[in-house]
Structure 1
Amino acid sequence: METIKPCAEMIKLNEIKASVPIDSYQQEISIELKRADGETVPIQHVHFSLENPVVQLSIQTMNNIEMGYNYILHYNHEQLPVIIGEVVRTRDFDNLYYYDGDDLGVCYTKTSTSFTVWAPTATEVQVTLFEKATDNKGLRFPFTRKAKGVWTTTIPGDWENWCFTYQLYTQHVWNEAVDPYVQAVTVNGEKGVIVDMEKYQVTDYLLPVVEKQDAIIYEVHIRDFSIHPHSGIKHKGKFLGFTETKTKGKKGTKTGLDYLVELGVTHVELLPLHDFGSVDEMNPNQHYNWGYDPIHYFAVEGSYSTNPLDGRVRIKELKQMIVTLHEHGIKVILDVVFNHVYIWESSDFEKIVPGYYFRYEENGEMANGTGVGNDIASERKMVRKFILDCLKYWVREYKIDGFRFDLMGIFDLETARIIENELKDIRPDLFLLGEGWDLPTPLPFWEKATIKNAREIPTISFFNDRFRDVIRGSSFHKTDRGFINGNKETVGEVLEGLCGSIGFQNEGLFTNPAQSINYMECHDNYTVWDKLSFTNEKEEENLRRKMHRLGTALVLLAQGVPFLHAGQEFFRTKQGVENSYNSPDFINQLDWDRKEQFKKDVMYVKNLIALRKAHPAFRLKTKAEIKKHIQPLQAPDHVVAYHMNDLYEIDSWNNIVVIHNGSWSTVEISLPYPGQWHIVIDEETVSLIPLYIVEDEKIHVKPLTTMMMFQ
């Protein structure tokens, strides 16, 4: 028979729950709650519940139990150490121990270094300083407990570049942790590093304000960008790869930074570059990962630096990369992962305040809406503060221009609103966007920052998966088809997406078009080129190229914010791998040879970008403007055609007709007005200067073609 081990757990600030074997139950019992120093805590009431084979005890105290002490429950002859349980997830705990100070983390000066950590359930905290990262023994200093569960110490002397860890006595055991607010770490994040951030201040080029609808986002992974053998880039897979100019591919065409400038994108969106856990920084080329396994949110990933052994180098090189991009007119959006951590059991969050930072189901099980084993509890006050402090740090310290929130639907709406408001106070043009998927985390639907609640946070943009799927087919069914690859039933939804999904004809998703991130592929799921190999495997490559190019034209001409996956413009392939998060470089790398192979298609996309940037008609700001200036045209099956008129106050082109022919036949469309129409997009070419003029009442549009003309 299994032996029942007695246990006691604090579930409220004034309540302890205990389980003891039923054979220890007696009519006359003795119960006392004492601190480890011997002081007795007055008990108000004890409730017994016989639940064979245990007795459940509910012990309510006269007053709130003060954190920062070890407690022992004396039950007859048993002594039960009291574990801090679900009390840390109560609103009372959150309110009582919320700390609004701005001094968490490490504060270095040449004469002293201060350490401050929020650890209300700890009963003792120390810091150990190591002269070298490889040292096993160091100098240990005690912390003093302050109000709100904050622990702090100031150590005289100059400790620059020393390493450190915290030791915390909590839950009756010692844990070693790294400060969650740490700004620099040793290899693989094993220790924190004390750095003088003033030494790494740079003069950054302040770019002009770019309104959301004027942005063209280009999503790229640091390593993918330069790792290809023919990238022409010296610092392959590194931050510095983005700083090199005059790089060439095998046949002499532009690569790297010069190519980004030539293409005309306004923002690069970088996959996570905070310190993550799945790549060994000592052997960075032996493993690959996208970086959605965060460990330290304030610190920089070392595998992208030229010297991961020195925690300062990654800071310096990342700043150099950002400054260089800014100098070339390109803003930087960071992909941030505040929805989960790499391994929650070994995370610094769990070691410092066990049970607090993560979301739990009603049955006490760890929530797993993210699908990776844990959901960060953004609704808790100190979690929310951590997220805000971290975002503000990246904006102020690294001059970041925006954030893309991975699995943003895990966030609670209140946190999203506060992020929206407080970050705008720092940078009014800061670009905020995220994945608004509705995931099964234990929050009510109306409290989630999902795409269906987009109207509640109108200055945050959302990835428009509805538009994506009607363009290419569902991402969850590899043979499902969309507008570009054979599904004529999607015409109405395509038009809705082209109008910013604001409720042009159907029910709208967004309050304004800038909330719609229009895309047909990203780092996740199949690339469109690979998707077409499944949905249209019997078609010739040239036909699939036309489908693909039609999809990119839909994205770049739609109202809202266009988003391109790096290499999309030259038909990026991942060799049929759907989820390449840890696939090798030959799957994930940006293949610069394809850029040279499909240079005409790259020019087509480049000119689409230039056309969009030159004509505000494709960057309307409001739902009212879209409804005023866009009218659908009568068109055959599998064709989307619309007329943009009365644009004289907005655009140099007064009347514009756009036709997207998704069918495999040449179609005839009646034009809305007689007279000369200047063709700027036809089957093969995009041009800001008219290609030719037609005066017919009707226009013929070839299969799988976007056509545009103006008066």
Structure 2
Amino acid sequence: MNSNDRIFLAYLDEMDIITILLPLSYHQGLSSTFTITDEMQHVRTLQIIKKQQIENHNKYICRLAEEITFGHSYWIMDEHGGRTDLQIGAVIRTPAFDDRFFYGGNDLGVKCSDHQTGFKLWAPTATQVKLKLRNPISSYSKIVKMKRENKGVWSVVIHEDLELYQYTFLILVNQEWRESIDPYAVAVTANGELGVIVKLEKTRRKKPSLPPFEYPVDAIIYETHIRDFTIHQNSGVKNKGLYLGASELNTKGKDTEPTGLSYIKDLGITHIEFLPFNDFAGVNELEPNKDYNWGYNPIHFNVPEGSYSTNPSDPYARIIELKQLIDAIHGQGIRVIMDVVYNHVYIRETSSFEKVVPGYYFRHNELGFPSNGTGVGNDIASERKMVRKFIVDSIRFWMEEYHIDGFRFDLMGILDVETMKEVRKTCDSIQEGTLIIGEGWNLNTPLPIDKKAIIRNHTKLPDIGQFNDKFRDTIKGSTFNLYDKGYVLGNEHYYEGAIDVITGSIGLNQEAGGLLTEPSQSVNYAECHDNHTIWDKLVSCLPDLDDALHMKYHRLATGLVLLSQGIPFLHSGQEFFRTKRGDGNSYKSPDHINQLDWDRKHLYQDNVNYIKGLIQIRKEMPCFRMKSADEIRANTHLLPLLSPLIGVYYQCLSNDISEVLLLINPLRTKQLVEIPDGIWTVIANDKDAGISSTQKVEGKEIVLEPVCLTILVKK
């Protein structure tokens, strides 16, 4: 029945409540009785408990004497003989529905062996479900009825090996058939149009052993995009823009110096974070060079993106090539963080979630419309049991099948605290040291504030890192005001804030405490894929300055990311002054805007060496990556320097070094400052950084060069 054919409408809104809408144009919208009839022609009278006029309808709230049986069709009749089908309404968003239909099994999706192939789909509101199979060689299709089991799961077993067959589900809900791909699909055809049955065991690789990684603050994260990373003409990579290109070793730029993965290894980072590489919309996989996209348009959450594959039409190619990439990175002793986008889907109406269980997977506001805290038209309702299960199942899948070492949650503030705690627990059960970080922004989604996975609720998420926007905006200036100058640009208004974020955002000298409880909760960054790069902001903020001064400001900002307490996060190319030519939102801008320009690495090799030296200092000296707030408070003291100069004194418990000074001068003039008396070794100044320095300073004073940081150590 088409909705246009219905004279009036009836919805099941709670387990025992039916809402009926009669148009005023139909018998003045009046009826004194309503009955419900099931497939066996059993007729029961509904109790009318409330009536009100809304717009051009009369709305009747009716109570059922006994609950309906899901999976069956029902009909509502009024006193005039009018009839309509009972549609599944807001009941699917009730706790009672969640409790009744939660399915805890780990077998949703497809399981294929040499002799049989089994299918399971969770579709509790469907009255029929069919499996549509397509032979990839003959293109012959057949349709097989599925059987309803407990908890709203539909299943069928076919006693054949159906490897490489394409499949979809046909689902009948509210008298309308919808065709959908399996939400649990792990392989698809080009552009994700059909699910494909594969045997993942054929693609499995043993995970190489990695260097020990105990504490989140030991991480140094390097964010990049698989295509950006190698697409530049001088990347020296053969398979440019692809999984295989990012996995190539010993590649060289036109200066014959390392590029790509070998360069990253040499730089000293511990974790590569890739922008989303699950299947996304925005790039035609069959003509990938015609489009560009960051990847925040998720389509299939458990399938690798095809545009990074050498053959998007081969469902195995993207799986095998992504696994080769991860394996190659692990072979360099580096871990992989996956950027995951469980907060929304690309288009709600066409998503497999909405087609399989309409209305369940997304949040709705008080008027019954889909909420839009994400800004892209829909919010995933992670607090619902089967939505939470899907997210946790998906995380488990990526860890166990692809050996992912960590996750960056896009718009984590849309998700709920319990889901993130379940994610943390699941990751810990699979691999200790799994890094979980996320954007804990407080977004306008209908979830109580105390349940949101936001920075404000960090005490409920003690083992999850939060992107620290206070750090970002304090150090370089507001991200959303291009012309706002931050602490490193000499803005004294950010002075107190700078001291706070450099010492871990724990409220070092504040009785009320800080933004966060522990340094491991603070992901410190001044630049990422979003918004303007530091270089582009500097050029806009300070257009009259020469590039030499721009570079000094940039070096200071990046240096503070690496030397502050917490988890440092670098945007790829930040170390060679990455520019996007002023583009502040390059999510679908062309390659010449987004690509990692490997020529700049050669042009600014001095700065690359400097950043590499700071990474070495951070790794060698535990005082720059203290594990707890208590450790920071016990071993950190501020020197009494005049604003905006900052001096931090650390007691250092490593090697033969006992004391460390971090001195910061954001001013454009030299500054004479007092320091504790003694013989100090300079391991970082305005020109060089590295653990092997032999330059000495004696006495109680030092001259700080303009716009730079200085590190002194005492043996």
Superposition TM-score tier, normalisation by shorter sequence: over 0.9
CA distance in 1 between partners of 2:153 and 2:47 (Å) = 29
Aligned residue type for 2:524: N
C-alpha contact (below 8 Å) 2:135/2:166 kept by paired residues: yes
Q: Secondary structure at the match of 1:62?
A: coil
CA distance in 2 between partners of 1:51 and 1:355 (Å) = 22
Matches within 5 A, 1:58-77: 58-75=61-78, 76-77=80-81
C-alpha contact (below 8 Å) 1:616/1:651 kept by paired residues: no
CA distance in 2 between partners of 1:453 and 1:48 (Å) = 42
Deviations 1:425-460 (A, max 9, x none): 111211000000000101111111101111111000
Deviations 1:611-641 (A, max 9, x none): 1111111111111111111111122332111
Q: Secondary structure at the match of 1:275?
A: strand
- What is aligned with 1:244? 248
Matches within 5 A, 1:152-551: 152-210=155-213, 211-506=215-510, 507-551=513-557
Matches within 5 A, 1:529-608: 529-608=535-614
Q: Which residue, 643, 661, 682 being the options, matches 2:649?
A: 643
Q: Secondary structure at the match of 2:691?
A: coil
Deviations 1:377-420 (A, max 9, x none): 00000000000000000000001000000000001111111212
| Cα shift at 1:10 | 1.1
CA distance in 2 between partners of 1:618 and 1:26 (Å) = 72
Q: Which 4+ residue blocks in structure 1 deviate beyond 3 angstroms?
A: 2-5, 25-30, 39-53
| Cα shift at 1:486 | 3.0
C-alpha contact (below 8 Å) 2:34/2:45 kept by paired residues: no
Q: Point out the more displaced range, 117-126 or 198-207.
A: 198-207
Matches within 5 A, 1:650-665: 650-665=654-669
Residue 245 to residue 394, structure 1, CA distance change in 2 (3 Å): same
CA distance in 2 between partners of 1:67 and 1:288 (Å) = 44
| Cα shift at 1:322 | 0.4
Residue 420 to residue 353, structure 1, CA distance change in 2 (3 Å): same
Residue 125 to residue 242, structure 1, CA distance change in 2 (3 Å): same
C-alpha contact (below 8 Å) 2:6/2:84 kept by paired residues: no
Q: What percent identity do the matched residue pairs reach?
A: 43
CA distance in 2 between partners of 1:172 and 1:26 (Å) = 24
Residue 120 (str. 1) matches residue 99 (str. 2): no
CA distance in 1 between partners of 2:137 and 2:465 (Å) = 42
TM-score, normalised on structure 2? Answer: 0.97
C-alpha contact (below 8 Å) 1:683/1:706 kept by paired residues: yes
CA distance in 2 between partners of 1:559 and 1:453 (Å) = 20
Q: Which residue, 142, 148, 161 being the options, matches 2:145?
A: 142
- What is aligned with 1:16? 18
- What is aligned with 1:625? 631
Q: Secondary structure at the match of 1:396?
A: helix
Aligned residue type for 1:527: T
Q: Secondary structure at the match of 1:655?
A: strand
Aligned residue type for 1:445: I
CA distance in 2 between partners of 1:493 and 1:637 (Å) = 12
Q: Secondary structure at the match of 1:129?
A: strand
Q: Secondary structure at the match of 1:299?
A: strand
Q: Secondary structure at the match of 2:107?
A: coil
CA distance in 2 between partners of 1:289 and 1:326 (Å) = 26
CA distance in 1 between partners of 2:200 and 2:633 (Å) = 50
Q: Which residue, 3, 7, 10 being the options, matches 2:9?
A: 7
Residue 607 to residue 67, structure 1, CA distance change in 2 (3 Å): same
Residue 39 to residue 103, structure 1, CA distance change in 2 (3 Å): farther
Q: Which residue, 71, 96, 114 being the options, matches 1:92?
A: 96
Residue 502 to residue 87, structure 1, CA distance change in 2 (3 Å): same
Aligned residue type for 1:15: I
Aligned residue type for 2:689: V
C-alpha contact (below 8 Å) 1:4/1:20 kept by paired residues: no
Residue 52 to residue 632, structure 1, CA distance change in 2 (3 Å): closer
Q: Secondary structure at the match of 1:208?
A: coil
CA distance in 2 between partners of 1:265 and 1:36 (Å) = 64
CA distance in 2 between partners of 1:661 and 1:127 (Å) = 67
| Cα shift at 1:54 | 2.6
| Cα shift at 1:675 | 2.1
CA distance in 2 between partners of 1:527 and 1:69 (Å) = 56
| Cα shift at 1:166 | 0.6
Deviations 1:44-91 (A, max 9, x none): 555443557432222211122111012211112211122211110011
Aligned residue type for 1:21: P
C-alpha contact (below 8 Å) 2:374/2:443 kept by paired residues: yes
Deviations 1:9-40 (A, max 9, x none): 11111111111133525987452211244333
Aligned residue type for 1:628: A
CA distance in 2 between partners of 1:371 and 1:102 (Å) = 32
CA distance in 2 between partners of 1:434 and 1:517 (Å) = 9
TM-score, normalised on structure 1? Answer: 0.97
CA distance in 2 between partners of 1:656 and 1:52 (Å) = 72
Unaligned runs of 5+ in 2: none
Q: Secondary structure at the match of 2:711?
A: strand
Residue 134 to residue 679, structure 1, CA distance change in 2 (3 Å): farther
Deviations 1:183-224 (A, max 9, x none): 100011110000011101112202133121111000000000
C-alpha contact (below 8 Å) 1:498/1:554 kept by paired residues: yes
C-alpha contact (below 8 Å) 1:104/1:117 kept by paired residues: yes
C-alpha contact (below 8 Å) 1:634/1:669 kept by paired residues: no
CA distance in 1 between partners of 2:137 and 2:585 (Å) = 35
Q: Point out the more displaced range, 473-482 or 663-672.
A: 663-672
- What is aligned with 1:614? 620
Q: Secondary structure at the match of 1:654?
A: strand
CA distance in 2 between partners of 1:517 and 1:258 (Å) = 25
Q: Point out the more displaced range, 433-442 or 25-34.
A: 25-34
Deviations 1:535-562 (A, max 9, x none): 1111111000000000111010111111
C-alpha contact (below 8 Å) 1:105/1:179 kept by paired residues: yes
- What is aligned with 2:679? 676
Q: Secondary structure at the match of 1:677?
A: strand
Unaligned runs of 5+ in 1: none
Residue 620 to residue 11, structure 1, CA distance change in 2 (3 Å): same
